[in-house]
Structure 1
Amino acid sequence: MDLFEPRLPETKLHDAFRLIRSDPGYGKVLPVIQNWATGLLDRKGESQKFIKEFQSTFNSSMWELYLNRAMSDLECNVDYSKSAPDFVVRGPGNYEFNIEAVISDQPPTTVQQKSFSEQDFKVRGALKLVGKIRDKLNLYRGFNGKKHPYSSLSHVRGRPFVIAVAPFDSNISLLQNNELINLALFGMAPPELVGPYCGKQGKIGSLLTPSGSPVEMGIFTNDSFKEISAVFFSTVGTFGKAVVESQIERLVRSTRYRMMDKDKVEPGSMLWQLGTHRFQFTNLTYLTTLRWEGGNQIGGADRLIQHSSVHRETHLDGLQVYFNPYAEIPFDRDFAWPQEVALNYFDVENGEHIQAHPDGALVSRQVYDPSPYSLQFLLESNGFLVR
């Protein structure tokens, strides 16, 4: 079934759906997305509903399409005969678990604020993530008299329950890296980027809603969400992933996690010097390095601006997994994760976030038209040009 054959009146089609269908420049992207749907559209009675949701709401369906292809890359099979939760999964060694997908989306009538407050953006984003995770937990537990909660289903009972969440709650939500999910799940404040405490992270126990009500952060630091075994998270499992995989011409800005033992860093290495440094390699390749010390390691991030012809990214790049240490049914620690997947644990005894991230793990990525205007914007916003 063709995802891109309109099933709704023009007025009900999502702006993004209309754009990618009408722009010939996206011609190579459409078959990539269609391929992501393999198997997903075979569900009896569900395929038409899914296509209509894809065409009318777009973001939530794109996230499910991304996850569907990700299951294949994780060498997992999905039982499409089950309509709920979203993915009934059998992995290597017949390991079975369930995934419920959700996004923190914005209502269609939302008007973006003209003035931007980074603090308001972060508070609102973290509150949205916790709220959406709680909504799905309520589906599992049974809420407001729901007759068949997920926990009552035979293919769910006794198996890990995973919530896969992605942020789409504002026009810039995909720029949040992993800071807000770290706050929501482990109560970790964003790291200090300058000064003597560069790289250090504080802790935040709660945030206030606009009405003044406190909402708990760090929901995986106690047993209040014990039914959730793990959370899958990504800011790059989006339409931009399909654009990159199609290899159409674009400018790409990406951020990658970096970590190296000090004794493995080549003496005098320019790329591992502490602080913030900028490099230009070609007319379309720019790198900003952020580095700080932490014990016997140097950590930080690389921010790259480059042409899509040299940008490299797998489908699983950017996928992060957060394990709940209080889970009633823990996710198997011996699951064979591909090397590009970033794993996150919480040390209950020491109250610490343990990041088992591969050096070079993708944290965020955005794509731009390959125009002089876009390049100028990217160079200015990343400190290579001064207005």
Structure 2
Amino acid sequence: MIDLFEPRMPEDKLHESFRLIRQDPAYAPVMPVIQGWAAGLLERRREGDKFVKELQSTFNSAMWELYLNRALMELGFEVDFSKSAPDFCVTTPGGYRFNIEAVISDRSPSAPTIAGLSEQDFKIQSALKLIGKLNDKVRLYRGDGGKKYPYGVLEHVREAPFVVAIAPFDSDLSLTQNNELINLVLFGLGAPSHEADTFGHQERVARIQKKPGTEIDVGIFTNDSFKEISAVIFSTTGTFGKAVIESGIDRLVRSSRYRVIDKDLAQAGDPSWSLGEQYLAQGKLDFLKRYRWEDESLIYGMDVRICSSRVHRETHLDGLHIYYNPYAEHPLDPGTFWSAEITHNSYDVAADEPQQDHPDGALVSRQVHAPNSLALAHLLHSNGFIR
């Protein structure tokens, strides 16, 4: 197999993340993990060297493809790498076939720094980037712009579901956005409320401002404007941080997981389902914050955990979302990506409302930090453990 980490270009052309992995001995165990994600991917005709150079020079887009490649292996799918496009021509064990095109919303060197943006401006900018990238893939499928062989006319694509896998890398805050912005882009949903009496409620949003006097429609899966896209795969955890976790190296981990249970199944007196907020120190490097609210039939909320990577547990598929387009020309079978960790999101056209199936324990976000007292103090303070 081609070595992903043997430099193919001068040092000054290497991406800073790639240089860090190679130069810091602490990251040595991460390299074989990432190499393992590449199984089969580098054997595509004339593509191996190109892919390695992309990883070494731009990093994020290649890491997203590597993550997806491993996810498809975990699900037991086969990828036909004899097809040069889209990125993954996939067949399930049952013979069901579909295609995946991978893309990221990456940062521009000329983009404003986060320090120069308000939180709302950051969210608008990131949402616009997501819409722009999805629009690019629709144009590629249709052949807009004069592409000689648009995806839609390729024999292995034209009658099969076309899925776009997208991840945000456009700023240092991208991986903290959870699924809020993709919900806005696809379903026109605003940020969920964190107030106890309205917890989880999301206002409807029809459009966002691109610049003064110009607005862009959101909720692209609530109509047929993107009918060529059968579904969207999304994750903010399918990143380098996932490889760090899987390597087992020493890090501090901040994660959040969605929690939900039927009231009839919650045992009386079980503290893990007590309403309100709880702050718990479960060990020297293991802190848990619980939020719990109720409605007529459910208790639901969030677990935020700050702990050592030695006690953190996470699968490769944790944090993965599938969004189904009800207006798709070739719908993706909802049973295709069925695994306990995966969140499924659809839109009920008749009821004009989203249907979001978040399993109990679904990973919402995860970040890794240096294992030192300064990082720990910051995490504990910013998450309310230290007042």
User: Which TM-score band (shorter chain)?
Assistant: over 0.9
How do 1:372-383 and structure 2 match up within 5 A?
372-383=373-384
Q: What is the one-letter code of the residue matched to 1:160?
A: P
How do 1:297-312 and structure 2 match up within 5 A?
297-312=298-313
Q: 1 CA distance for matches of 2:367 and 2:119?
A: 19
Compared with structure 1, are the counterparts of its residues 329 and 295 closer, same or farther at alpha carbon in structure 2 (3 Å cutoff)? farther
Aligned to 2:187: 186
Report deviation, 1:195: 5.1
Aligned to 1:22: 23
Aligned to 1:332: 333
Aligned to 2:114: 113
Aligned to 2:4: 3
Q: 1 CA distance for matches of 2:122 and 2:278?
A: 27
Report deviation, 1:336: 5.5
Aligned pair 1:49/2:46, yes or no?
A: no
Is contact 1:253–1:367 with CA below 8 Å preserved after alignment?
yes
Report deviation, 1:155: 0.7
Report deviation, 1:273: 2.8
Q: What is the one-letter code of the residue matched to 2:132?
A: G
Cα offsets for 1:35-86 (capped at 9, x unmatched): 1011111011111111111000000000000001111011111111111101
Q: 1 CA distance for matches of 2:292 and 2:51?
A: 44
Q: 2 CA distance for matches of 1:106 and 1:114?
A: 15
Please state whether the residue corresponding to 1:254 is helix, strand or coil. Answer: strand
Compared with structure 1, are the counterparts of its residues 124 and 110 closer, same or farther at alpha carbon in structure 2 (3 Å cutoff)? closer
Report deviation, 1:115: 4.5
Is contact 2:251–2:371 with CA below 8 Å preserved after alignment?
yes
Compared with structure 1, are the counterparts of its residues 49 and 66 closer, same or farther at alpha carbon in structure 2 (3 Å cutoff)? same
Aligned to 2:41: 40
Deviates more, 1:149-158 or 1:280-289: 280-289
4+ residue runs over 4 A deviation:
none
Q: What is the one-letter code of the residue matched to 2:8?
A: R
Q: What is the one-letter code of the residue matched to 2:197?
A: P
Cα offsets for 1:279-326 (capped at 9, x unmatched): 211121111112222331122211111111111111111111011111
Cα offsets for 1:103-153 (capped at 9, x unmatched): 010013445132452211221121111111111111001111111100010
Cα offsets for 1:195-235 (capped at 9, x unmatched): 53222111101101134311111110111111111000000
Q: 1 CA distance for matches of 2:110 and 2:122?
A: 18
Deviates more, 1:210-219 or 1:31-40: 210-219
How do 1:97-112 and structure 2 match up within 5 A?
97-112=98-113
Aligned to 1:85: 86
Is contact 1:40–1:80 with CA below 8 Å preserved after alignment?
yes
Please state whether the residue corresponding to 2:328 is helix, strand or coil. Answer: coil
Compared with structure 1, are the counterparts of its residues 115 and 336 closer, same or farther at alpha carbon in structure 2 (3 Å cutoff)? closer
Q: TM (normalized to structure 2)?
A: 0.97
How do 1:78-227 and structure 2 match up within 5 A?
78-194=79-195, 196-227=197-228
Cα offsets for 1:344-379 (capped at 9, x unmatched): 111112222212221001111000111011110110
Q: What is the one-letter code of the residue matched to 1:198?
A: F
Is contact 2:114–2:171 with CA below 8 Å preserved after alignment?
no
Q: What is the one-letter code of the residue matched to 2:340?
A: Q
Report deviation, 1:156: 0.3
Q: 1 CA distance for matches of 2:364 and 2:328?
A: 26
Q: 2 CA distance for matches of 1:35 and 1:83?
A: 21
Q: 2 CA distance for matches of 1:171 and 1:299?
A: 29
Is contact 1:199–1:292 with CA below 8 Å preserved after alignment?
no
Aligned to 2:370: 369
Aligned to 1:280: 281
**Root-mean-square deviation (CA), in Å?**
1.3
Percent identity between the two aligned chains:
58
Compared with structure 1, are the counterparts of its residues 180 and 363 closer, same or farther at alpha carbon in structure 2 (3 Å cutoff)? same
Deviates more, 1:327-336 or 1:78-87: 327-336
Q: 2 CA distance for matches of 1:36 and 1:293?
A: 41
Q: TM (normalized to structure 1)?
A: 0.97
Q: 1 CA distance for matches of 2:245 and 2:183?
A: 26
Compared with structure 1, are the counterparts of its residues 138 and 269 closer, same or farther at alpha carbon in structure 2 (3 Å cutoff)? same
Aligned to 2:232: 231
Q: 2 CA distance for matches of 1:115 and 1:377?
A: 22
Deviates more, 1:320-329 or 1:280-289: 280-289
Aligned pair 1:322/2:323, yes or no?
A: yes
Q: 1 CA distance for matches of 2:220 and 2:296?
A: 28
Aligned positions, number: 386
Aligned to 1:259: 260
Please state whether the residue corresponding to 1:346 is helix, strand or coil. Answer: strand
Q: 1 CA distance for matches of 2:173 and 2:11?
A: 26
Structure 1 unpaired stretches of 5+: none
Structure 2 unpaired stretches of 5+: none
Deviates more, 1:294-303 or 1:164-173: 294-303
Q: 1 CA distance for matches of 2:77 and 2:53?
A: 27
Is contact 1:97–1:159 with CA below 8 Å preserved after alignment?
yes
